[in-house]
Structure 1
Amino acid sequence: MPSEGVRRSGRQARHAQRAAKPVVDPCPPGQSGGAFKPLTPSEIDQIYDTALRLLETLGMGNVPDRLAADLRAAGALPGTQDRLLFPPAMVERAIATAAKTFTFHGRDAGRSIDVGGDRVYFGTGGAAVQTLDIDSGLYRPSTLTDLHDFTRLQDTLANVSWFTRCCVATDVPDVSDLDINTVYALVRNTTKPVATSFTLAEHVAPIVEMLDIVAGGPGEFAKRPFLKAHISPVISPLRYGEDAVDVVYECVAHNIPMSCITAAQAGATAPATMAGFLAQSLAETLASLVMVNTIKPGFPMVFSNWPFIVDLRTGSFAGGSGETAILNAASAQITNWLGLPSGVAASMTDAKAIDAQYGAEKGITSLAAALAGANLIYESSGMTASLLGASFEAFVLDNEMHSHTYRALRGIEVSEENLGFDAICQSVLGDGHFLGSAHTYAAMERDYFYPELADRQEPRTWQIEGAKDAWSSARQAAKEVLETHHPRYLTAEQDAEIRKRFRILS
């Protein structure tokens, strides 16, 4: 029998092992999705056929002259009211030639992600104009400093696989300054894949000059683009937006991958019925795909069909609703059926506080999108208040939530070892329990995720340690990161060159 000292030493070693990072991450990003299929094959066929009929019969309105010429050359036909009609063969040719996968590069190659197939990644989006202040717990206008701080914070979060600017710097009124300083905040504070929006097409080329400085010289960014554009070239219902189309042309010219986002609203800019909504929004996102692949076949584009729900009683956005959960899951399923890189928006809670509503809405919508196999799940980290707000505490809580989701996606591995026949026999005939067995220890490290923020203590210990809620724990964690993580991802020479050529405000 081992001595008490030996047993105590073993217990201390086990505690140290539990406190350390697992040798094998039980739930890394990029797990396979697609098990949840809210639509039957027949229903997908009906929605797709209706989308093709809409493009063939109604087509697209407000087509800018340059795009109209390109589309007509590719087979578009004239319709009523100066609309252009897309024959089904034209649409299906675009689907066939479209990029099915592509690498979304990080400046750090180890942070790049492969988009497409059945891989699921959580990231950000949004254009919040308010920040939930980490000290007061109240909302205030978002600032450029907030954007830098959000970027620094998420740089430490493993489950935010790419970072799109999550808030608008409302203290930068000039749109050129805003676009330039937004991108500067991204490249200064993270080496993950990043994304932004361009207010005007003429802002693209100057920003690419900045990205070339970061990448190592003229033309270097285009060889391995680490920034993606978020563009909404289609305005529901079924018409193009000229400024956004101009941005598309510029992004193609500079080899900037893009997410072409359709953001129809059920009952407002699209049918209130879910099937009708899916048919129209699919047609609109296909119109973006036709446009991109007419300009340059095979250009990297995320098919970003984002169903948005409004409360039809009040007109308020309902981003945390069950309807949002099922429609985004269905959108991902349809896009995956087409074989295209899919993007949806989920975890868009309508809650203002970090409370029960927040947790319920984020959990149900993000899990549904992941189980359906959405490749990129936007808005999934940090967003609150129906996308009007962004929160530091939300970022760290959502990061932990995504680990649980990835663990669910990983599923159950059935093998002779995992079935545990011998381990069951040994425990039944031996100690009568599984505590401390080698089989249990192996599973503990390999198969289970242990959260850092979620409280699993018994009530008395929780009370003794301050009875903290999730908001308080997340605030403390976020503050620790913001106080200690000050990355320098630009060299002094790069920063000086950027500041010499651009008006940097921070």
Structure 2
Amino acid sequence: MTEEVAQKARRSGRRKRLAKSAAPPKVNPAPPGQIGGAYQPLTEAELISIYNTALRLLEELGMGDVPDNLAKVLVKAGAEPIAGDRYCFPRAMVEDMIGKAAKTFILHGRDDERSIEVGGDTVYFGTGGAAVQALDLDTGLYRPSTLEDLHNFTRLQDTLNNVSWFTRCCIATDVEDPYELDVNTAYALMKNTNKPVATAFTLAEHVDPIVEMFDIVAGGPGEFARKPFLKVHISPVISPMRFGEDAVDVTFECIKHNMPLSCITAAQSGATAPATLAGFLAQSLAETLASLVMVNAIKPGHPMVFANWPLVIDLRTGAFAGGGGEISVLNAASAQLSNWLGLPSGVAASMTDAKAIDAQYGAEKAMTSVAAALAGGNLIYESSGMTASLLGASYEAFILDDEMHSNTYRILRGVEVTEENLGYDAICDAVLGEGHFLGGSHTYEAMERDYFYPSLADRENPRTWEDNGAQDAWQMANAKAKSVLAEHRPQYLTAEQDAAIRTKFKIL
């Protein structure tokens, strides 16, 4: 063989190896739905103490601002009026409702392959939020988020495997009318993805007509309620310890249509809840239990995510702080409490305070999301795309967060200790043979099965990085987001469905 032929053979072999390493793995080594719960910031005695304090708050302090329609339901279930127009929830009543509550349920996608089961010890990342600004792909600066952004974010995340459900991540600030906003938000979700989705309703009277849209998509009147593919984000409790009438009214309407609920408690430390972490957890648990009592008093066993989201403020300035050690441990503790009660848990993570895609962004996203996942949060909200303390949503962030989630899932997967994996024979063969493990069958099998290979994180040497343009993560994610938005234009509505929706609704 001549030297020229040998060089061609080496180049050909290298190209084949590079192509093989660039190809998607035969088996995803880090899929969604991994098992959480290894991180337990609270001891059993601490769990019991926080729980007992929460029950005492509900029994002795009770809940204020209870609307008349809810008061009737609660009294029938065992609540009692007390001084100050408040209603107390006896311990036996609360524990009865915990027993009746749904422990697991399906979040349906319009594609059954994308449905997920909520509850137990599985972990899924998804979205949330109501950002009013978007980080512009071209200028790199923030501007008011628009309806076009909502459509674009929805179809971008449709391509991301680790966003297991999509809640509208931004508000279309260019749609002023509240009803038109709710309608067009729902339409954007229907058009651009067939994953499980979620939204919010501004007023109760918006629910019935928008369900007509869902019925058109589902196949006819009443079909949506049979297999609801949308859940509702709602905050029926306002901290500290009172109900919000508009949200309660929306709750009644959504339950009527069998829509799963994420009942979100969003107290803020030192402002609407105690600054001490233990006191915060006790009050926040009591408030989320009040939502659970309300839902199950209306309809026992209705699917509800126990979405106890501890939020932190910077006590020096009063500003919301979405990243840091305190919010990491609080959300982990919240997930642990919810799972200890056997309830489908929802917490929030990756709410970085960073405005740019920078070191602060990466550190805050990683610490908060890993803590929530290790603690076993069933649904981890806000975990994709959010920046600037939830004020902003970023296309680049969606791309980068998706890769981060794969690494987190790989952490959750842990170490599989088996006779084969321990590799006694492989060690002996390497020591007595070539002196290394490169190219061995044991290594090749592990390469496909056990390792996640990032597409954005750069692992090249500095010279190669320079030769490739010396790009940072923001630049790489920007290019990827633009490429996806240019190419991925799904049509999840048929022409007939779209026409029927446009006949009934003002689609902007």
Q: TM-score, normalized by length of structure 2?
A: 0.98
Secondary structure class of the residue paired with 2:117 = strand
> How far did residue 12 of structure 1 move?
3.8
In structure 2, distance between residues paired with 1:179 and 1:462: 46
> How far did residue 9 of structure 1 move?
5.3
Kindly tell me the number of residue pairs found equivalent between the two proteins: 504
Note if 1:240 corresponds to 2:240.
no
- State the identity %: 74
Corresponding position of 1:254 = 257
Corresponding position of 1:382 = 385
In structure 2, distance between residues paired with 1:302 and 1:10: 52
Q: Which amino acid aligns with 1:342?
A: S
In structure 2, distance between residues paired with 1:7 and 1:47: 65
Secondary structure class of the residue paired with 1:43 = helix
Deviation string, structure 1 residues 129-152 (Cα, Å, up to 9, x no partner): 000000000000000000000001
Aligned counterpart in structure 1 of residue 36 of structure 2, from 29, 33, 37:
33
In structure 2, distance between residues paired with 1:143 and 1:12: 44
Aligned counterpart in structure 1 of residue 335 of structure 2, from 329, 332, 335:
332
Corresponding position of 1:408 = 411
In structure 2, distance between residues paired with 1:109 and 1:59: 42
Alignment of 1:161-240 (within 5 A): 161-240=164-243
Aligned counterpart in structure 2 of residue 497 of structure 1, from 479, 496, 500:
500
Q: Which amino acid aligns with 2:121?
A: D
Secondary structure class of the residue paired with 1:266 = coil
In structure 1, distance between residues paired with 2:279 and 2:264: 18
Secondary structure class of the residue paired with 2:16 = helix
In structure 2, distance between residues paired with 1:82 and 1:123: 39
> How far did residue 504 of structure 1 move?
0.3
In structure 2, distance between residues paired with 1:321 and 1:240: 29
Aligned counterpart in structure 2 of residue 463 of structure 1, from 466, 485, 489:
466
Note if 1:59 corresponds to 2:66.
no
Q: Which amino acid aligns with 1:486?
A: R
Secondary structure class of the residue paired with 2:122 = coil
Aligned counterpart in structure 2 of residue 302 of structure 1, from 297, 301, 305:
305
> How far did residue 8 of structure 1 move?
6.0
Alignment of 1:273-422 (within 5 A): 273-422=276-425
> How far did residue 201 of structure 1 move?
0.4
Deviation string, structure 1 residues 230-273 (Cα, Å, up to 9, x no partner): 00000000000000000000000001100000000000000000
In structure 1, distance between residues paired with 2:469 and 2:306: 47
In structure 2, distance between residues paired with 1:255 and 1:153: 29
In structure 2, distance between residues paired with 1:17 and 1:140: 42
Corresponding position of 1:270 = 273
In structure 1, distance between residues paired with 2:406 and 2:179: 38
Q: TM-score, normalized by length of structure 1?
A: 0.98
In structure 2, distance between residues paired with 1:445 and 1:16: 14
Q: Is 9-18 or 379-388 further displaced after alignment?
A: 9-18
In structure 1, distance between residues paired with 2:27 and 2:142: 39
Aligned counterpart in structure 1 of residue 102 of structure 2, from 99, 110, 114:
99
> How far did residue 464 of structure 1 move?
1.3
In structure 2, distance between residues paired with 1:89 and 1:443: 52
Q: Where does the alignment leave 5 or more consecutive residues of structure 1 unmatched?
A: none
Alignment of 1:105-116 (within 5 A): 105-116=108-119
Q: Where does the alignment leave 5 or more consecutive residues of structure 2 unmatched?
A: none
Q: Is 455-464 or 377-386 further displaced after alignment?
A: 455-464
In structure 1, distance between residues paired with 2:9 and 2:37: 49
Q: Which amino acid aligns with 1:231?
A: I
Secondary structure class of the residue paired with 2:231 = strand
Q: Which amino acid aligns with 1:462?
A: W
In structure 1, distance between residues paired with 2:406 and 2:318: 34
In structure 1, distance between residues paired with 2:126 and 2:379: 7
